[in-house]
Structure formats: structure tokens, C-alpha cells
Amino acid sequence: MTPAALDTGTWRWERSCATWTFELPRAAEESAAQAIARCARGVLAALPGFATPAVADWTTASAGDEAAVQPRGTPIDAAAVDRTLRDFPDLIALALELDLQVLAPDASEVALEDGGVVHIELEDTQLVLWFSLQVDLYARRTFGPRRDNEALAQLNAPRLAAFLGRLAQATGARFHSVAAPSYADQATPRGFE
């Protein structure tokens, strides 16, 4: 649901408008579950000022997808991560749905439910972290009915850039790539420019 204070004429909501990929090595003494939990705690530390965690969907080797779910309305914090790790020591992936905190033109802050998702999983000997935006609100030129989104981008692109910087710092991950086929001239390792 789009908040009333946010005109959707200049931006659109579409699955995976842009995805930033990060990689981080797994410590030799760390299990896959411990590494995923460590990365998840880093993601949670990077979120304030950009998004709030809405739903955590944990995958395990023994039970598959949705083996453990913290639903909307349930606190998703470091303690929840630690409890999940303790209860499910065979974790292999996390999908964390995010409600984005964005500024409207009137400077009010609004939440965009399910505006982004973080996915963490082990690939070979390293963790891969994907952050996907489901909205193009941060881009100057969009695919909304009116393509000029400069006003909203000026308000919100700095939040995205700050988040991506905190994400790398808090998780220890290094940037690998960004995939934004419709926004290739605007999407960078630092967000939308």
C-alpha cells in the first residue's frame, strides 16, 4: 500500500528494480549458520534511518524454505537472530523483507511496505548478500507516468547511499556488482546518482 503523502506519478513499484550484490568470506571455524547469523546482525545494524525489518524468512538444510519465519509485527533484531540460530543450527539462507523509510516532498517520513529485500546465503566458501529495491523512487529518471523524479531522488538517494555504505561496513562485505537493467546509467555501487 502506498502512503497518501507520496505521489506515485513519478516512480513505480516493481520487483527487483535494482539489486546490489556483496560478497564476504566465511571464517574457517564458522558454520554456514553462524556466518549467515553474523551477516544478518550486520544488516540489522545498518538499517536504521533507511528501513525497518518487516519479515524474516529463514531456510534450513533440513526443512527448506520458511523453516522459521518472524512475521510482520514480530521484533526482528539481533536477539531474534540468535534465537533462530540456536533453534535452527542448519540455517542456509535468510530473506529479510524491508519496509523502506522515505521522505515525501512535504518532508514527512513515510514507510513503503515491502519496498526492499535482503537475501543472504552461502555459495561455496563465501556468503553472498543481495539487496534488492522493489521501487525506483531513488532514481532521477524513472518509469512512472511522469519520468522526472528529481525531487524525490534528491530527498531519498542520499539515504540509500548511506545505507549501502553502512551495509558494507557493518557486515564486512565487499561490493561485487549492481544489476539495474533499466537504470544502468544511474545505478552505481553507491546507489542511484
Closest listed residue to residue 11, CA positions, set 110, 106, 143:
143
CB environment 98-119: b (16+ within 10 A), e (fewer): bbbbbbbeeeeebbbebbbbbb
pLDDT in tens, 117-176: 999 999 988 999 999 999 988 999 887 778 888 999 999 999 999 999 999 999 999 999
Residue-level pLDDT at 3: 54
Question: Cα separation of 133 and 170, whole Å?
Answer: 19
Confidence grade of residue 1 (pLDDT, cut at 50, 70, 90): very low
Q: If DSSP codes are grouped into helix, strand and coil, which group holds residue 180?
A: coil
Asked if residue 91 has pLDDT above 80, the reply is yes
pLDDT for position 5: 65
Q: Which segment of 28-37, 42-51, 93-102, 139-148 scores lowest on mean pLDDT?
A: 139-148
Distance of CA 87 to the CA centre of its chain: 24
What are the angstrom distances between the C-alpha of 102 and each of 152, 177, 178? 9, 24, 21
Lowest mean pLDDT among 25-29, 62-66, 68-72, 176-180: 25-29
